[in-house]
Structure 1
Amino acid sequence: MTLRQIRNIYVSRLVDLYPENEIVSIFGLICEDLLQMSKSDIMIRGEEPLTHLKEEIFLRSLETLLNGTPVQHITGIGHFYGHEFKVNKHTLIPRQETEELIQWILNDHKDSAVNSILDIGAGSGCIGISLGHAFAKANSLKSSHNVKLFDVSTDALQVARSNAEAIAPDVNFSFENRNILETTSIAEYDIVASNPPYVRDLEKKELHKNVLDFEPETALFVTDEDPLVFNRKILELVESHENPLVYFEINQYLPEEMKKLAADMKFKQELRKDLNGNWRMMKCWR
């Protein structure tokens, strides 16, 4: 078979799971990340016969995709902010919306030195590592400064540590196994960033099978009764600091509740929408 024929098979068999444009993107990730094919290879070699080995890899990957497995779990790679992050069943897959949070933080601090960063609920480390790399590249984060990553999962922290070593080896990262809900105090950091669990049980029906069945529940879900439990706890931990500054990724359906939470705790706040027009980010400070 040729590459074009394989692609057509992907489109016809995955159509009940994904829209066609997403299938084409998935196929591209299989080509690039699993088979190390360049974009030009994909474009100009569509009619060339595939080797038996490559054909087997494509077809085996297709069967795995049909089970609902995310393509990133097949390739082991999640693309985020220009980097390749290792991902697995213990980490959330980095998403484009979170890149917008990174850009907001970088824009806010483009003219200021940053000495310390804390990423709460780090998962693969995409937020903390991307920030550490970007600030170090801009010479506003020195090797003696601190980027700390918290996560409740030791397995996720192993992935984050590996990503930090590969992406930003010159940055001083530290990793701590920490359940933030059981934490009584944290040191003060210039920037605290978090993409905490925020999906309510009632919203599970909106999630794709590849999220529900394959990404870690502890990183995704909160109860319907107290969906802001993580946001509240993080703000409580920083409210006694001299200059608290927290950036959150938030539940798109709860911007007003987030505003009220921050206001009740005497924080100033700013909400922003993502590229899809959903309320997705919030900054809290004093």
Structure 2
Amino acid sequence: MKIKQYRTQFIKELSSLYDAYEAESFFYLILENKYNLRQIDLALNHELAFSDADLEVLKSFLNELKKEVPIQYLLGKTNFYGLDFEVNENVLIPRPETEELVDWIINENKIIDKTKKLKILDIGTGSGCIAISLAKNLPNAEVYAMDVSKKAIETAKKNARNNNTKIIFILKSVLELEILKSNFDIIVSNPPYVRHLEKQEIKKNVLDYEPHLALFVDDNDALVFYRKIAELAQKNLLEKGQLYFEINQYLGKEMTELLEKMDFKNIELRKDIYDNDRMISCKVSKTL
């Protein structure tokens, strides 16, 4: 069957779950990742065709997509900040909003003086997307990455190797720490922040397949991770050290108030590309 003809069938079969644009994007992702064909290749050669074996592979993808399994998990990888990352059921799929956080950190911490080193800690690293992107784009940085999940750390280690970056990994629950073993210039975290009361807003492909350990937090203490990390930052951020968070879009005011009460300074709350409160930064107000 000609690929162009099958594309129409593929999109139609997913029409009850996805709009045509999203279904088409899935088709081209599979085409590129499995057959090394781009959309332009199909446009230039209308005679390209799938074999019977190819059609069986496409059928298996269709069946999984109809169950709303994320395309990134089916392909086993995704792109984040220009880099490829392995993803699986043990790690969250990196989001565009997190790319904005990474971009913020990079733009604020580019160092002209190559002799000056930055020490960075990423808490709740998951796939390692934040830590690895920072290490790749801030060559002066010594980057540490912490996670409570052994399987997430294993995935992040693979991603570090695949992207030729050196990361020091720490298998630990941040909630169990009273102090960090080192001091840092930057601490960043995208911790669990979705309250259970917000589950009805979560799409099936996220709710059913992405790890709840990395997603959800108790309704009665939604800022538990932020408070703990901020306490550690007070003890372990160096002078002029910076703390960055990705946050729950509904809790921007509460996050600002938390950091103000803890005497952080230069607090800045930013919106994401969807105009939601999504990231915040601040500095320690006292030296170590």
TM-score (norm 1): 0.92
In the TM superposition, structure 1's runs of 4+ consecutive aligned residues that sit over 3 Å from their partners are 111-114
Q: How does 1:242-281 map to 2 (within 5 A)?
A: 242-243=238-239, 244-268=241-265, 269-281=267-279
Residue 15 of structure 2 aligns with which residue?
15
Q: Is the 8 A contact 1:117 1:191 kept in 2?
A: yes
Q: Distance in 2 between matches of 1:213 and 1:9?
A: 26
Q: How does 1:163-242 map to 2 (within 5 A)?
A: 163-167=159-163, 169=164, 171-186=165-180, 187-241=182-236, 242=238
Q: Distance in 2 between matches of 1:111 and 1:147?
A: 15
Counterpart code for 1:181: L
RMSD value, Cα: 1.5
C-alpha distance after superposition, 1:64-101 (max 9, x if no partner):
11111100111001110111100000000011111101
Residue 65 of structure 1 aligns with which residue?
65
**Identical positions, percent:** 43
Q: Is the 8 A contact 1:197 1:222 kept in 2?
A: yes
Which moves more between the two structures, 28-37 or 247-256? 28-37
Which of 141, 152, 156 is 1:156 aligned to? 152
Q: Is the 8 A contact 2:28 2:38 kept in 1?
A: no
Q: Distance in 1 between matches of 2:46 and 2:200?
A: 38
Counterpart code for 2:133: S
Which of 133, 136, 141 is 2:136 aligned to? 133
Q: Is the 8 A contact 2:131 2:144 kept in 1?
A: yes
Counterpart code for 1:164: A
Counterpart code for 2:16: D
Unaligned runs of 5+ in 2: none
Counterpart code for 2:61: S
Q: Distance in 2 between matches of 1:196 and 1:46?
A: 47
Residue 27 of structure 2 aligns with which residue?
27
Q: Distance in 2 between matches of 1:204 and 1:35?
A: 37
2:152 is paired with a residue whose SS is helix
1:44 Cα deviation from its structure 2 partner = 2.6
Q: Distance in 2 between matches of 1:93 and 1:46?
A: 34
Q: Is the 8 A contact 1:193 1:247 kept in 2?
A: yes
1:118 is paired with a residue whose SS is strand
